């Protein structure tokens, strides 16, 4: 149990530690012994206007949680139990392991795996640490499993990746909104106020989802495709837009390029064919395309349901093609956007955590980018490594010749959250050395040689960038317990012990000021954003190239971030899922988030209010499928794929397709659903195919009838 600290009772403005809305909060510290560490209340921030979901409301419960880590833990050998250690001993072990790995196996044998929950300062420091302190190419992060397909598509089409190119509040002003693979009613409930405000004005909402979700229940039209067929659906809608002369020819001619080739390609997506592929009736598609095209202001918002596929970047491009053909991007209260998921999913991917990236969304392979960033860092550009491999590829090679042998993990629980997670756990165990920084002894930390206790969101300063591209302040409300340190400090200290400490600062404001200089002139330009400017609680939207620039809430009004200022159409075609159902695995498994939990559940499964709301995982099965299988509501079900097996309680639901089952990914043990998922990668984004794979189901005979993996080595 963390030792109590004396706290001044002064309200502090900050932001929720969970999703990318980054809802505004007022944190009021309690006097010592007066109960919870903090009293949390919603603040009048632009994304939430005072509202909080149950995760935000219960977030302070983790600050003084009895399982909170407050001292480093080490093992004397891999089979030994953890014991408490001093920070000096922990640092010595880390530095020795990194040094030995590089001496024996080369510089890239030491690496870091980061997370989309790290502040901008930490994400920036992580990328710099690997390239400057370790001089290694081995870094990536869990955002590769979240936003990478949408980011790749937006960059190709618009020349820039900012998830939402307009403020969230613009949703309330749109006349028609289509949500593709997004369920904000469960995943980011405060955002629903903007959809509700639009509906009160008479706006029409459409939802594309294999499930009849809480969001779909509020919609005027629900399109329920087979998982993995969103690309065909988008092309089918574009075919109908061409057929009914709904394309905005003037916009296409003036603001885009590549349209003739796309127009020709759409001849292949006649309505009856698309209905056979997707399962969406032609009449529903007809209604949908007329609603989208005939409104004054229309938005198409996509999310992980459409993007977490081995063709996710092409799928996002297909929806962008439809938006461009209808003349939406850059027009008032219109456009295409993607709903970022993780708390700093936007900022976390902008400043160097990705294997191919430098700060400001510069690319590591670009000689000019290398010169600029190396100049800020004070190193020779030739010292910087070339791009490394993506997240799953790095994890797949851990402990092998040519792979990482000593790994640092920050803000990620990859033993649960990675695709083909059982295999990833095997690779983690094969490392020569694993160090994990976390709040709790997560499933990944349990495999480590050294575990470091890190500061929580309310115990540190920093900046975050929310789903709108709005840069905002995270403020310290309470001091961290004795023995706990910030990841920013940890990276600087390790660098110092490696002889590279002169290149690193430990103070968030100083790191952010360096980030501003490193990002200057880049796509994600933060040069004009300072701590002082974002003190007013509203934040500043990037790009913001100078301190007299007001920021950019809305992109594309005057052009796109391409050399000629035009958006790009791309020809993209439907292809089957990487693993379609067959006789042995006859159904489709899709995965996602539930309302009460978040990510791998490391935090939410330790929060009483959230665990009470959802004490165990359930798999949603259509009653017709359940009847064929002999599964009854509330019974245990075995789910098996070519990679492994899981066991969950069945919940019979007519709200899912009869050929598909849905399971949440927040749980570990026999309910680790990512043990089953397919690691097939998108060729552009390197996104794994989380959202669909072939699965077999059967009722469990007894309470002890735990499923066992069929082939964990496949």
What is the model's pLDDT at position 33?
Answer: 59
Looking at the fold, whether 510 and 651 belong to one and the same domain comes out as no
What is the model's pLDDT at position 599?
Answer: 86
**Cα-Cα-Cα-Cα dihedral of 676, 681, 686, 689, to 10°?**
-40
Distance CA(398)–CA(400), nearest Å, equals 6
The domain that holds 197 is classified in CATH as 3.40.228.10
Owner of token pair 């796509």: 523
Looking at the fold, whether 315 and 260 belong to one and the same domain comes out as yes
Of 134, 132, 130, nearest in space to 100 by CA: 134
Which distant-in-sequence residues (6+ apart) come within 8 Å of 510 by Cβ?
A: none
Burial of 564 (0-12, 13-18, 19+ CB in 10 A): exposed
What is the model's pLDDT at position 712?
Answer: 34
Which of 291, 308, 338 is the last residue before a domain boundary?
Answer: 338
Looking at the fold, whether 278 and 385 belong to one and the same domain comes out as no
Question: Does a structural domain hold residue 705?
Answer: no
The domain that holds 128 is classified in CATH as 3.40.50.740
What tokens were used for 476? 């310290």
What is the model's pLDDT at position 443?
Answer: 96
Distance CA(592)–CA(599), nearest Å, equals 9
Which of 276, 306, 338 is the last residue before a domain boundary?
Answer: 338
- What percentage of residues in the chain have a pLDDT greater than 70? 96
Which distant-in-sequence residues (6+ apart) come within 8 Å of 502 by Cβ?
A: none
The domain that holds 657 is classified in CATH as 2.40.40.20
Show the low-confidence residues of the chain (pLDDT under 70): 1-8, 32-36, 702-714
Number of domains the chain contains: 4
What is the model's pLDDT at position 630?
Answer: 95
What is the model's pLDDT at position 35?
Answer: 59
Question: Does a structural domain hold residue 542?
Answer: no
Looking at the fold, whether 429 and 456 belong to one and the same domain comes out as yes
What is the model's pLDDT at position 536?
Answer: 77
Question: Does a structural domain hold residue 554?
Answer: no
Give the range of the structural domain holding residue 465, as residue numbers without chain letter.
73-145+344-521
Distance of alpha carbon 664 from its chain centroid, rounded? 15
Model pTM score: 0.94
**Cα-Cα-Cα-Cα dihedral of 219, 220, 225, 229, to 10°?**
-90
DSSP SS3 for 503: helix
What is the model's pLDDT at position 708?
Answer: 44
Distance CA(533)–CA(620), nearest Å, equals 47
Looking at the fold, whether 274 and 369 belong to one and the same domain comes out as no
């Amino acid at each position: 149990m963390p030792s109590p600290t004396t706290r001044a009772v002064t309200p502090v403005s900050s932001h929720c530690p969970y999703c990318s809305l980054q809802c505004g909060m007022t944190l009021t510290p309690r006097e010592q012994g007066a109960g919870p560490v903090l009293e949390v209340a919603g603040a009048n921030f632009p994304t939430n206007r005072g509202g909080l979901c149950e995760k935000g409301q219960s977030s302070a419960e983790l600050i003084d949680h009895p399982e909170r880590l407050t001292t480093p833990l080490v093992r004397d050998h891999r089979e030994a139990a953890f014991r408490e250690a001093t920070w000096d001993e922990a640092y010595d072990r880390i530095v020795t392991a990194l040094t030995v790995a590089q001496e024996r196996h080369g510089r890239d044998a030491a690496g870091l795996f980061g997370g989309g929950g790290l502040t901008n300062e930490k994400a920036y420091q992580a990328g710099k640490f690997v390239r400057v302190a370790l001089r290694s190419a081995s870094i990536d992060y869990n955002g590769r499993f979240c936003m990478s397909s949408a980011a790749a598509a937006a960059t190709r089409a618009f020349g820039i990746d900012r998830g939402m190119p307009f403020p969230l509040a613009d949703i309330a002003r749109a006349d028609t909104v289509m949500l593709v693979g997004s369920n904000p009613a469960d995943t980011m409930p405060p955002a629903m106020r903007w959809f509700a405000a639009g509906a009160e004005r008479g706006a029409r909402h459409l939802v594309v989802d294999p499930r009849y979700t809480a969001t779909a229940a509020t919609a005027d039209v629900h399109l329920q495709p087979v998982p993995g067929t969103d690309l065909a659906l988008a092309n089918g809608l574009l075919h109908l837009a061409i057929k009914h002369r709904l394309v905005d020819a003037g916009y296409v001619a003036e603001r885009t390029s590549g349209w003739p080739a796309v127009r020709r390609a759409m001849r292949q997506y006649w309505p009856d064919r698309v209905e056979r592929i997707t399962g969406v009736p032609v009449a529903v598609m007809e209604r949908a395309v007329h609603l989208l095209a005939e409104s004054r202001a229309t938005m198409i918002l996509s999310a992980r349901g459409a993007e977490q596929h081995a063709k996710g970047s092409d799928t996002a491009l297909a929806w962008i093609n439809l938006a461009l053909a209808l003349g939406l991007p850059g027009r008032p209260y219109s456009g295409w956007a993607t709903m970022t998921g993780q708390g700093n999913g936007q900022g976390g991917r902008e400043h160097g955590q990705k294997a191919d990236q430098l700060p400001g969304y510069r690319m590591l392979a670009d000689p000019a980018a290398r010169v600029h960033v190396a100049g800020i860092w004070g190193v020779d550009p030739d010292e910087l490594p070339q791009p490394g491999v993506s997240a799953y590829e790095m994890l797949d090679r851990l402990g092998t010749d040519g792979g990482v042998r000593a790994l640092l993990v920050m803000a990620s629980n990859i033993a649960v959250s990675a695709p083909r997670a059982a295999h990833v756990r095997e690779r983690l165990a094969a490392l020569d050395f694993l160090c994990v920084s976390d709040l709790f002894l997560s499933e990944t930390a349990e495999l480590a040689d050294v575990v470091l206790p890190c500061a929580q969101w309310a115990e540190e300063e920093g900046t975050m960038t929310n789903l709108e591209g709005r840069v905002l302040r995270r403020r310290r409300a309470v001091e961290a317990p004795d023995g706990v340190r910030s990841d920013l400090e940890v990276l600087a200290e390790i660098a110092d012990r490696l002889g590279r400490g002169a290149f690193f600062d430990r103070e968030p404001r100083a790191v952010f000021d360096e980030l501003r200089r490193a990002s200057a002139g880049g796509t994600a330009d933060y040069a004009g954003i300072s701590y002082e400017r974002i003190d007013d609680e509203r934040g500043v939207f990037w790009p913001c190239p100078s301190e007299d620039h007001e920021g950019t809430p809305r992109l594309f009004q005057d052009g796109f971030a391409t050399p000629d200022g035009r958006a790009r159409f791309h020809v993209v075609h439907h292809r089957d899922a990487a693993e379609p159902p067959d006789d042995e695995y006859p159904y489709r498994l899709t995965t996602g988030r539930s309302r009460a939990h978040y990510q791998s559940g490391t935090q939410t499964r330790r929060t009483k209010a959230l665990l009470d709301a959802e004490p165990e995982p359930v798999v949603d099965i259509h009653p017709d499928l359940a009847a064929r299988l002999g599964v009854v509501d509330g019974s245990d079900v075995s789910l098996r794929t070519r990679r492994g097996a899981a066991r969950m309680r069945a919940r019979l639901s007519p709200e899912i397709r009869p050929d598909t089952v849905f399971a949440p990914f927040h749980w570990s043990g026999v309910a680790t659903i990512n043990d089953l998922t397919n690691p097939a990668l998108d060729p552009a984004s390197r996104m794994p195919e989380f959202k669909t794979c072939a699965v077999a189901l059967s009722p469990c005979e007894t309470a002890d009838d735990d499923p066992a993996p069929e082939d964990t080595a496949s």
